[in-house]
Structure 1
Amino acid sequence: MTRPHKHQSHPKVIARLKRANGHLAHVIAMIEEGSPCTDIAQQLQAVEKAITNAKRVLIHDHIDHCLDPDEAGHAPDTASFKAITRYL
């Protein structure tokens, strides 16, 4: 069994994703209620931005703590860096 992989930023990422989840639920309700498309698009933009910001924090934290030899306790892993940058 592998041990949980946690970083100091994970609670902040979780909070951002929960906020985005709330926005998304609101967007669904807006669509079901027949809200104007411009209002829905604006809220979808907010959801997209919240998710993008959460992803950015997670990736930067990974780079800072998993690829920094001083933090990770080993030489940088080029394959891991290439893998995570696919999601930028």
Structure 2
Amino acid sequence: MKRILLLLIAFAAAAFAGWYYWNFFQRISSAPVSTLLPRETIFLAHMPDFNRTRDEWYRSDIYQLYREAAVQDFLRPGLAGLGKLPKTHA
């Protein structure tokens, strides 16, 4: 009888330790990425699957508009002028 009680207590302790371990690491791994960044961070692009995100971007409406010849003709002078701006060192 004592052996069964001892095994039952050991099993309960192991189950509790496993449950505690699981919950502890679930709390850590589910922390938002923004909490891990410095306070001075201005922009964060979180893309878990970069290749899929890139493929979706190439199929998006805004990218298709950007690639049109008329839009490229409109943007070309402005983009060429960016190279003439003085370089600043922050």
TM-score band by shorter chain is: 0.3 to 0.5
With a CA cutoff of 8 Å and minimum separation of 6, indicate the structure with the bigger relative contact order: 1
What's the TM-score once normalised by structure 2's chain length? 0.37
What's the TM-score once normalised by structure 1's chain length? 0.37
Query: If each structure's helix is expressed as a fraction of its own residues, which one has the higher value?
Result: 1
Which of the two has higher C-alpha Rg?
2
